[in-house]
Amino acid sequence: MSDKLSKFLDFLKYEKNASPHTISGYRRDLLQFKNYLKNKKLNWEQADNIVIRGFLAVLYEKKVKKSTSSRKLAAIRSFYQFCIQRKWMADNPAKVVATPKQEKTVPSFLTEEEMAEFLDFPCSGKVLDLRDKAMLELLYASGIRVSELIGLNLEDLNFEERLIRVKGKGKKERMIPFGKTAEESLQIYISRRMMINKGKIDEEALFLNYRGQRLSTRSVERTVSFCIQRSAVRRKISPHSLRHSFASHLLSRGADLRVIQELLGHESLATTQKYTHLDLRHLLEVYKKSHPRS
């Protein structure tokens, strides 16, 4: 790995407090671009906007998703901007390259009825089933990301005020409320948590696997997939769908968009606005109640 790239990744880690997932993605994207330059017998300094457009054209020919191509371009832009700040380069060739136009997609989410069915599955009473119940209830009750969920420690829970302390992107902390149903499920799970792996557990982590270690993102995905199969919902639902559902249901019940933005931990209100998809029936009801000439 080149010295410039190593220093850029260190900058992301130590100065920007980027998550390991983000750093890994930047490393992968920039190494791919570096290999493209190598095949063209070019280095970082010799690349111009035409070269970068050629790189994007190759991605297009390989049918890479536009969202993925946009992410790679963003990584290249950030790297060159870092090089300019360090006075290693005079110009950012990626700044004049247009971002690939994105397909507009509506986030997948469950209706309130579907969510109720999804969460009200029979629980065997086994400690790992109790963990799954608490985990899913908390995801829907708080709208936190899966990465934030698995990063939770016991000390982050405040049952007295029903709040959790979440470390979001860039290690920014925020306090998120959760409801009584989630509280009950969490209390039951925590009371049995020491039964996992005969008590040989990570004492800090809230959610544990059967070996007593902090739960992984993949484990959460498997749990959601399994619970969906047991329900009557016949659509592809991911853990992130619970976050979408949380935002959609709050919005449909009249919550302010800026409040939802704060709860979700979004930097920009524009990011939150993708959750404003309401079903036609609800829109018509609100219109008839609210419009003076309806």
Catalytic residues: 145, 169, 240, 243, 266, 275
CA dist 151 and 17 (Å) reads 15
Token pair of 273 as six digits:
């606005």
CA dist 42 and 228 (Å) reads 49
User: Which among 272, 242, 230 is positioned nearest to 112, based on CA atoms?
Assistant: 242
Contact 28, 12 (CB under 8 A): no
User: Which among 273, 277, 242 is positioned nearest to 258, based on CA atoms?
Assistant: 273
How far, rounded to the nearest angstrom, does the alpha carbon of residue 191 sit from its chain's CA centroid? Answer: 29
Contact 204, 155 (CB under 8 A): yes
Token pair of 124 as six digits:
């065997």
Contact 96, 110 (CB under 8 A): no
Q: Which helix (H) or strand (E) holds 141?
A: helix 127-142
Token pair of 143 as six digits:
């709208």
CA dist 232 and 211 (Å) reads 31
CA dist 194 and 256 (Å) reads 40
Give the chain's length. Answer: 294
Beta strands in 168-254 (DSSP E): 173-177
